[in-house]
Amino acid sequence: MPLSIQHDALLPGRNYIGRWCDAEEGRRFDVTDPATDRVFASVPDSGAAEARAALEAAHAAFPAWRAVPAKQRAQMLKRWNDLIVAHTEDLGRLISREQGKPLAEGRGEVAYAASYVEWFAEEATRANGDVIPAPVPGRRMFALKEPVGVVAAITPWNFPAAMIARKIAPALAAGCTVVAKPAEDTPLTSLALVKLAEEAGLPAGVLNIVTASRERAAEVVDVWLDDARVRKISFTGSTPVGKHLARRSADTLKKLSLELGGNAPFIVFDDADLDAAADGLMTAKFRNGGQTCVSPNRVFVQDAVHDRFVEKLAARIAALKVGPASDDGSQIGPMINAKAVEKIERHILDAVEGGARLVVGGHRLAALGRNFFEPTLLVDVHATMACSCEETFGPVVPVTRFQTEDEVIAAANGTPFGLASYFYSNDVKRIGRVADALDSGLVGVNEGALAAEAAPFGGVKESGYGREGSVHGLDDYMSLKYVCQGQL
């Protein structure tokens, strides 16, 4: 039985540009359930015309929205948060239906998305500037925080609610207006969130969303990239698309937040608690079936504990239950689409051909459906294999043996990416040294679940720049204005 939604109102199936509306000529594209590969909904296939209309609406709404006192903006965001929480079950089902993750994770994502809305509702009222001691007599000097203007938010499919909430919430809190384009695989959750924002009392034009197929995504986003009225792009997705956005927005010098791909190392030192490390790896690796940008992509285990750790890991991985989100016991759902499964297969094949050994899994689960894949454990993996160089984005754990701390730090940092890294150790001096030495925006020390609305999330190197969440998150949507008053 596919997951059903109780409140039809959460499925508007249209763009929101000051009002609910369709794309030109009624163009639409299909939304597919990755568990069954069946089409179950459709949404507007927008193009340049809809992108322009959304931008006009956001631009027109900006002066009034920035003038709304922060406290009132905060109250609207709090109402939005309350509505999201109140619709947890439906939103969780919608996430699981269009994205495939187990229902418990779908519900968990709703709470995670709401936590950003609540956080930024609170932060809205604390966007304090500075009063600066003047270096000369007769002056008063201020640094004031102002909203940057219209923000374009472009999001991926792996967290259909959380990714868009953590862009829209800080933008609105800061006093910016928004144009958004969700991923083509998962447009429905974001439309449902916008529906609830409308219900929360957000004025028309402040938050606009247009959906588009993969073929038209660039047509929509190019309008925003090329228009000087869009002052900021907030993007989560792949590094090639992030670089394209950075290049193309250079002509109008927009502010950018780019949360891009990762290639997270997970290091187990020989002084670690091996059970805790195995549990932490399971949590970090298999959330959303490995389809997260902070998912450990390379696992390094120190020689003396390698075999014992692999044994513990193998038992845990073999016990995972794969199945559709509609099945209560499922821990791993389908991959998002056929392309994702092909990449996983290619990585495993390449590793095995290069001398890696399959310990658990390694194959499709065709009996469940085209997009299901076995949780997989590979050992004797080398740095040059595809699974070490590219993000696999699937339920594959590739293990590499190492000897020394210096060697593993060099290996961990030997990638153009730097989003998350993890290590397990009980040596207090080593913990300090290794946490300092790892080139990444997030470091988990004896912890596999890092993300929280109160923490800054973002990468270094080719994993991008900007931070989402935390007391720093609002700054990405604001600019500082220095005001100097003389003749006092």
Contacts to ligand ADP by CB under 6 A = 154-156, 181, 183-184, 214, 217-218, 221, 237-238, 241, 244
Q: Which of 50, 109, 259, 405 is catalytic?
A: 259
The amino acid present at 83, given as its one-letter code, is L
Burial of 85 from C-beta contacts in 10 A (0-12 / 13-18 / 19+): middle
- Report the C-alpha gap between 310 and 397 in whole angstroms: 10
Q: Is-contact 127 478, C-beta < 8 A?
A: yes
Q: Tell me whether residue 76 or residue 193 sits nearer to ligand ADP (CB atom).
A: 193
Question: C-beta of 181: minimal distance to ligand ADP in Å?
Answer: 6
**Residue closer to ligand ADP (CB basis): 323 or 334:** 334
Q: Residue 59 Cβ, how far from ligand ADP at the closest point, in Å? A: 20
Nearer to ligand ADP, 5 or 217 (CB): 217
CB-based contact 31:40 (threshold 8 Å): yes
**Min separation Cβ 53 and ligand ADP, Å:** 18
Between CA 116 and CA 470 the distance in angstroms is: 9
Is 144 or 218 the residue whose CB approaches ligand ADP more closely? 218
Min dist. Cβ of residue 19 to ligand ADP (A): 23
C-beta of 31: minimal distance to ligand ADP in Å?
14
- What does the alpha-carbon distance between residue 111 and residue 119 come to, in Å, rounded to a whole number? 12
Residue closer to ligand ADP (CB basis): 35 or 241: 241
**From CA 245, how far away is CA 466, in angstroms rounded?**
14
What minimum distance in Å lies between the beta carbon of 273 and ligand ADP? 34
Closest-CA residue to 199 (of 483, 380, 9): 9
89 has catalytic annotation: no
Structure tokens at 394: 């699937």
Q: Can you read off the two tokens belonging to residue 430?
A: 């080593």
**Nearest approach, Cβ of residue 218 and ligand ADP (Å):** 4
Q: Helix, strand or coil for residue 316? A: helix
C-alpha separations of 254 from 245, 319, 365 in Å: 10, 48, 45
Shortest Cβ 329–ligand ADP spacing (Å): 28
Q: Which residue has the tokens 């000529």?
A: 25
Q: With respect to ligand ADP, which residue has the nearer C-beta, 327 or 390? A: 390
CA 47 to chain centre: 24
CA–CA gap between residue 151 and residue 180 (Å, rounded): 8
Q: Residue 36 or 291: which CB sits closer to ligand ADP?
A: 291
The CB-nearest residue to ligand ADP is 237
Tokens of 182: 């969700």
Residue 244 or 364: the one with the smaller Cβ distance to ligand ADP is: 244
Active-site residue set: 259
